Structure 1
Amino acid sequence: MKGVVVCPQPRAAEVGAEILEKGGNAFDAALATAFSQMVNDPFMCGLGGMGTLHYFHAATGTSGMIDFYNRAGSKVRPDMWEKDCKGRTPISGYSLFDDFRSEIGYTAVMTPGTPAGLGLFHAKLGSMPWADLIAPAIAQANEGILVTPNLASVWSGYAQPGIPDGLTRIRKTAECARVYLHPEGRLFKVGDVMRLPDYARTLERLAKGGWREFHQGALGDEIARDLQANGAFVTREDLADYQPEESAPLVGSYRGYEVRSNPPPGSGATLIEMLQILEHFDLSALDHGSARHIDLVARAMGAAHVDRNAYLGDPRFADVPTDMLISKKRAAYWADRIKSGQYAGGQEEAPPGCTTHVCVMDAEGNAVSMTHTLGTAAGVVTPGLGFNYNNSMKLFDPVPNKKNSMAPGKARTTGMVPTMLLKDGKPVLLAGAPGGSVIISATLQSILNVVDFGMSPVEAVTVPRIHCEGLGIHTEATVPRSVIKELRALGHTVHQSAHSFEPSMSRAHVISTIGGRMRGGADPRGGAGVVYAR
């Protein structure tokens, strides 16, 4: 077997597998898959977005992070929206304004980082030509993509109090409506074919000119003129000066495995903290899905989220005590509180946004776990370019002098956690997920399901799941009522979904070689795509 590719989009997974079959490595496959994801899920990810990429290079035995987060434009001011903010959404923590300024339109856009991040990754580790890795996405955009239930649900899933629905989002700019509404003026339906020739031409320009064409070339000039003419906070200099960041992953441990995940403003520290809290409890002695199992996992989630809410921020702008968060001492503190019944939960919670993920591992042991996103998309398309921009401004705190307050050049916090577990210096488990802070809980449970309960990757991402940030436990319909009753008797508030596969639980993706065989699992909560390259 040449490798495994897992991601939510079946056609994108196929692209990655074809690259492996042609002799490309895991890094090539991840890049080609990512570009195809942009076309097949154009409101989940794209050239106007951001991401975080975790790689392991088998030849050198080294791993690293490439973070390409959106950064606030230089025209942003910390107090510019403070007086107009109407609060934050109760189920997502998004800032609320009467005119939706942080959610849709040009004022919601932050400096994109995806082209620069993927360009750096290719220069560092790619083995195939850049243009060859973008070519499949160009072909798909020209041929047209089949609208999947996952893609259609993006537009219908936006509806919640204070947030514009999908149709309002798409109609925010005339160009977005022209590109992303059906010619009949309606939303595309499942099974419709959506053609994206403008996106294809933009990708062709990127393939020919390299990633700098987007940030520093003629394409960047077009983007900057459009943003400036329509009141965005991002300048031409912001776009040209953008630089992705390279760093070592954070390192923790769990049950004899080394755990590596992403640094702040990503949430790898939160995931490591959860695992190290749970290491104090023998989960394997419990029945999976039992009240005691859910109780312990929920309390560990909630405890780590207390620290996330208190400490997580952009290290360029805030003092983030990462060493403390991933320390065994901090995990023991929370474990002791859980054992004694003192832990009472946190005060905030934030469900998912629109994001995507890809994991790839090849036969040589090269590995990639990458999460990339548009937030929930601003409904902004530059005329003739075809792609959406991010709406990351909505996740800043409009009140100044807080860890996640807005400031020029600042990245907002994110729940993304592309993670690897290693044994004897080699990755044996890759995991990650899309979907806001629910990413953390989905990734956590996938790891627990493999390590503590001996599940296959498919089982690990399929069994009933929970989410907790401290205020209550969210469960799927498949959690038995008898277990719900026991959890409530233990003092938990429980919110049970009507869905067996609750979409907001995030779509976890896993590749594992534990047991000696490379296997992948793609979450059925989305348009599951998993491909083995033979």
Structure 2
Amino acid sequence: MSSLFHLSRRDLLLGSAALAATTSMPKFGWAAPDPSALARSTKGMVTSPHDLATRAGLEVLQKGGNAIEAVIAIGATLSVTYPHFCGLGGDAFMVISDRKGNVRTLSGVGQAAANPPNYTDSVPIRGPGSALTAAAAVDTWDQAFDFSRKSWGGKQSWASLFQRPIEYARNGFPVTPSQRFWQSFEEKHLKDWPDVRRIYMADGRMPEVGDKLVQPELANSLEMLAANGGRDFYEGKLAERIVAGLKAMGSPLTADDLARCRARDEAPLRVKYRGGELLGLRPPTQGITTLEIMGILDRFDLAKYPEGGVDHYHLMVEAVKRAFIDRNRYIADPEFVDVPVNFLLSKENLDAHAKSIDLAKAMEWPHVFKKADTVYMAAVDSSGNCVSMLQTVYYDWGSGMVAGDTGILWHNRGASFRLDPKSPNCLAPGKRPFHTLNPGMYLKDGKPRVLYGTQGADGQPQTLAAILTRMIDYDQDPLTALTKPRFLLGKTFSDTRDSLKLEQDAGEEVFKQLAARGHEMSPIPAQSPLAGHPGAIRIAEDGTITGAHDPRSDGRALGL
């Protein structure tokens, strides 16, 4: 595992010239970007986990496009170049702000089918039974694009934002170390995923890093989307093909389910932190969980504790535990259950949680681990408008099923539903499932100062706590904050214990002292992929913009 991810940091990425279309998989030479460089600018910035996607967003800014237009181009490109983590058949979330701090969020969660199957023990993790929720990513782009035109004077055409994604799907791009790793990781399941084998394994073999991947069916779908607009995915000719493909593969979704899919335009949730405000999305996302963690930590003077020391880690982990208990008890679709949002972020609740933390002793764990994979992207334009965004297909490779001849891999977010009627996340027709995704934004003096988000399911709030405390409490630049050792509480792909995983470069003494306080410790390699793939952009008071994407990923930030 570690060798592949060292390769991704050392040897990737990518020439952006168009690649000749063939069905074979030749190796490509490329000029690797410098992942250690901190991007700087005063005019604009983009970041994502894939160099080609970051460059697609930068091109939009260079043409005079705004931050919304840039992230749509990035998201569409990642749907091609990062198929294992996101795609048209998944969900998406945005936190959108102008330079004055007027913020709105788009929560793109596809709802359950109107007539879901009568599952017995649980919702299937993979296969057609897991493809039971609509996909809201494209509607999120569509609504954001409409807002861009009406409120920000957006000038880029919808079709122009799909130029690069169509090019890479039609002509090909080099397979990344991340894709290679996750395809190898699921190798034992590939026999059950004929669509994944057909599209992502040319000549029936596992691709190597640098092999060219072409996706002509996806290119056709992207061309239809570019020509006919976002709602074509839900109500037009493309929708007809998608529905036919979903029906053929055994999904319970119908044309009516797809037509009813809409992202929610909502005011953000807010919590005070160090004289500013952290903003996140409303349930059914766990945005409130990250805010609750940070609200608890705001009750402690972290600056008096050494950054990366035992007290820093202990306080973060203990805040996570308390917020996770609240999350598992309450968070679900508020259109179906009562979610006590005001109470969870209230002074009363945050004070009580903070007072319950013993600086010398860890609270006992375990609780349920939730798995997922996703991608983070962000953009700031020359006017100071900004977007913080996440996209996902839930598990790596989603449901493992493609909708007919569309090339669209469908997500398996419906697998996060429970069948226990006592669970707030119990499956119901038309209900939106609990979502781990929670991009965010930090405002100071009412203006955007930090854009942030990460891949990692349960790890998302934990990774964000580490990044935000380092950037806000310890005044670290984005690259330094992203590079430092991180933790993950709970089960992982390779360790079923509910232990505290910590990257080894945190230091032997930190491990010893955390263990002495009662944490069950499990070391993971430095710069481990288990620690998430976050990105961050900071906007200083003087307008200087700095940004980076996690050195553990295949991406980078680029300034205008």
TM-score calculated relative to the size of structure 1:
0.91
Say whether the 8 Å CA contact 2:247–2:253 is kept in structure 1: yes
**Residue in 2 that maps onto 1:505:** 531
Letter in 1 for 2:224: R
Aligned counterpart in structure 2 of residue 32 of structure 1, from 73, 83, 89? 73
Residue 391 of structure 1, CA deviation:
1.0
CA pair 466-343 structure 1, distance change in 2 beyond 3 A: closer
Residue 305 of structure 1, CA deviation:
0.7
Letter in 2 for 1:65: T
**Residue in 2 that maps onto 1:285:** 304
**Residue in 1 that maps onto 2:504:** 477
Letter in 2 for 1:463: K
Residue 281 of structure 1, CA deviation:
1.3
Aligned counterpart in structure 2 of residue 420 of structure 1, from 428, 441, 454? 441
Aligned counterpart in structure 2 of residue 156 of structure 1, from 178, 181, 184? 184
Partner Cα separation in structure 2 for residue 490 and residue 69 of structure 1:
40
Partner Cα separation in structure 1 for residue 306 and residue 353 of structure 2:
23
CA pair 301-524 structure 1, distance change in 2 beyond 3 A: same
**Residue in 1 that maps onto 2:163:** 135
Is residue 357 of structure 1 aligned with residue 376 of structure 2?
Answer: yes
**Residue in 1 that maps onto 2:110:** 70
Say whether the 8 Å CA contact 2:54–2:555 is kept in structure 1: no
Say whether the 8 Å CA contact 1:259–1:421 is kept in structure 2: yes
Residue 106 of structure 1, CA deviation:
5.1
**Residue in 2 that maps onto 1:50:** 91
Q: How does 1:168-187 map to 2 (within 5 A)?
A: 168-169=189-190, 171-183=191-203, 185-187=204-206
Partner Cα separation in structure 2 for residue 198 and residue 106 of structure 1:
23
Residue 468 of structure 1, CA deviation:
2.7
Residue 341 of structure 1, CA deviation:
6.6
CA pair 383-415 structure 1, distance change in 2 beyond 3 A: closer
SS of equivalent to 1:360: strand
Deviations 1:58-88 (A, max 9, x none): 3x741111111122111215xx323x44xxx
**Residue in 1 that maps onto 2:551:** 524
Say whether the 8 Å CA contact 1:510–1:522 is kept in structure 2: yes
Is residue 270 of structure 1 aligned with residue 289 of structure 2?
Answer: yes
Residue 506 of structure 1, CA deviation:
0.9
Say whether the 8 Å CA contact 2:68–2:387 is kept in structure 1: yes
Letter in 2 for 1:73: A
**Residue in 1 that maps onto 2:469:** 448
RMSD, matched Cα:
1.8
Deviations 1:119-148 (A, max 9, x none): 111011141110011111111112212111
**Residue in 2 that maps onto 1:379:** 400
SS of equivalent to 2:519: coil
Return 5+ residue gaps in structure 2 as ranges: 1-41, 492-497
Residue 109 of structure 1, CA deviation:
3.9
**Residue in 2 that maps onto 1:90:** none
Is residue 494 of structure 1 aligned with residue 521 of structure 2?
Answer: yes
**Residue in 1 that maps onto 2:175:** 147
Partner Cα separation in structure 1 for residue 172 and residue 361 of structure 2:
56
The number of equivalent residue pairs is 505
Residue 229 of structure 1, CA deviation:
3.1
Q: How does 1:451-462 map to 2 (within 5 A)?
A: 451-462=472-483
Partner Cα separation in structure 2 for residue 167 and residue 131 of structure 1:
39
Residue 336 of structure 1, CA deviation:
0.6
Partner Cα separation in structure 1 for residue 242 and residue 257 of structure 2:
12
**Residue in 1 that maps onto 2:148:** 125
Say whether the 8 Å CA contact 2:315–2:359 is kept in structure 1: no
TM-score calculated relative to the size of structure 2:
0.87
Partner Cα separation in structure 2 for residue 81 and residue 106 of structure 1:
9
Q: What is the identity percentage for the equivalent residue pairs of Structure 1 and Structure 2?
A: 29
**Residue in 1 that maps onto 2:227:** 208
Partner Cα separation in structure 1 for residue 173 and residue 349 of structure 2:
48
Say whether the 8 Å CA contact 2:184–2:206 is kept in structure 1: no
Deviations 1:317-343 (A, max 9, x none): 111111111112211101111148787
Residue 21 of structure 1, CA deviation:
0.6
Say whether the 8 Å CA contact 2:101–2:443 is kept in structure 1: no
SS of equivalent to 2:299: coil
**Residue in 2 that maps onto 1:409:** 430
CA pair 469-272 structure 1, distance change in 2 beyond 3 A: farther
SS of equivalent to 2:505: coil
CA pair 383-235 structure 1, distance change in 2 beyond 3 A: closer
Letter in 2 for 1:114: A
Say whether the 8 Å CA contact 1:351–1:504 is kept in structure 2: no
Residue 467 of structure 1, CA deviation:
2.2
Residue 291 of structure 1, CA deviation:
1.1
Letter in 2 for 1:180: Y
Deviations 1:370-424 (A, max 9, x none): 1110112112113321120001122111323311111111121122111111112
Letter in 1 for 2:55: E
Partner Cα separation in structure 1 for residue 464 and residue 172 of structure 2:
32
Partner Cα separation in structure 1 for residue 308 and residue 551 of structure 2:
18
Say whether the 8 Å CA contact 1:396–1:406 is kept in structure 2: yes
Residue 300 of structure 1, CA deviation:
0.7
Deviations 1:177-227 (A, max 9, x none): 2211122x1121111110111111110000011011110011111211222
Partner Cα separation in structure 2 for residue 345 and residue 523 of structure 1:
31
Is residue 191 of structure 1 aligned with residue 233 of structure 2?
Answer: no
Partner Cα separation in structure 1 for residue 377 and residue 241 of structure 2:
30
Say whether the 8 Å CA contact 2:378–2:387 is kept in structure 1: yes
Say whether the 8 Å CA contact 1:172–1:380 is kept in structure 2: no
Partner Cα separation in structure 2 for residue 203 and residue 174 of structure 1:
22
Partner Cα separation in structure 2 for residue 217 and residue 515 of structure 1:
46
Residue 431 of structure 1, CA deviation:
0.6
Partner Cα separation in structure 1 for residue 166 and residue 359 of structure 2:
57
Return 5+ residue gaps in structure 1 as ranges: 86-94, 96-100, 158-164
Letter in 1 for 2:557: V
Aligned counterpart in structure 2 of residue 81 of structure 1, from 115, 119, 141? 119
Letter in 2 for 1:386: G
Deviations 1:73-104 (A, max 9, x none): 11215xx323x44xxxxxxxxx6xxxxx3323
Say whether the 8 Å CA contact 1:102–1:108 is kept in structure 2: no
Residue 293 of structure 1, CA deviation:
1.3
**Residue in 1 that maps onto 2:484:** 463
Partner Cα separation in structure 2 for residue 135 and residue 369 of structure 1:
22
SS of equivalent to 1:478: helix
SS of equivalent to 1:136: helix
